[in-house]
């Protein structure tokens, strides 16, 4: 039985050939499927790496594999393959969502200067008929 956020047998069969075959020099990769399921679970839930369930192995293994595959382009290949394959059989619904949120602020929150403010406003000079400023007084 496949748990939530884990690969099905069909999905695993599709992506297994795209994963690197050899690990670091002198060592073998831990089981790709178990580690990949751990990475997917972490990404889907948003928990810190250290809170990864034990069934996925040491959190350090999942983190290092994620980081290494991000750096060497493996994640980009997996994503491109999944998008191309799923789009070809009509499983992807390409939808664009634009957020046009407007946030209103009180008029006094518009960046007024702080400090000493006069309590009364200075008189505004009025214009004469000829456009010359009259002396306020």
- Predicted confidence (pLDDT) at residue 90 exceeds the cutoff of 80: no
Work out the burial of residue 3: count CB atoms within 10 Å of its CB; fewer than 13 is exposed, 13-18 middle, 19 or more buried.
exposed
Between 91 and 103, whose confidence is greater? Answer: 103
- The pLDDT value recorded for residue 65 is 92
Q: How far apart are CA 66 and CA 59, in angstroms?
A: 11
Mean pLDDT within 122-128: 59
Q: Which domain holds residue 75?
A: 35-94
Q: Check: pTM over 0.75? Answer yes or no.
A: no
Asked if the model's pLDDT at residue 27 lies above 90, the reply is: no
Average pLDDT over residues 54-73: 93
What is the Rg, in whole angstroms, of the alpha carbon atoms belonging to the chain? Answer: 31
Residue 83 located in a structural domain: yes
Please name which of 3, 71, 70 lies closest in space to residue 38, comparing C-alpha atoms: 3
Establish if 66 belongs to a structural domain: yes
Flag whether 118 is in a domain: no
Q: Higher pLDDT residue, 118 or 15?
A: 15
Instruction: Tell whether 24 is covered by a domain.
Output: no
Tokens at 120, concatenated: 């009364």
The number of folded domains in the chain is: 1
Q: Give me the pLDDT at residue 84, please.
A: 80
Q: How far is CA 102 from CA 99, 105, 126, in A?
A: 9, 10, 39
Is 8 contained in some domain? Answer: no
């Amino acid at each position: 039985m496949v748990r939530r956020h884990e690969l099905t047998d069909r999905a695993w069969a599709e992506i297994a050939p795209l994963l690197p075959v050899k690990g670091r020099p002198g060592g073998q990769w831990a089981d790709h499927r178990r580690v990949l399921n751990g990475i997917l679970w972490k990404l889907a839930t948003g928990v810190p790496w250290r809170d990864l369930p034990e069934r996925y192995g040491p959190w350090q293994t999942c983190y290092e594999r994620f980081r290494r595959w991000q750096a060497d382009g493996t994640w980009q290949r997996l994503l491109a393959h999944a998008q191309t394959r799923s789009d070809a059989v009509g499983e992807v619904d390409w939808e664009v969502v634009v957020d046009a949120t407007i946030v209103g602020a009180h008029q006094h929150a518009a960046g007024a200067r702080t400090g000493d403010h006069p309590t009364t406003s200075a008189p505004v000079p009025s214009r004469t008929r000829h456009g010359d400023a009259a002396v306020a007084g």
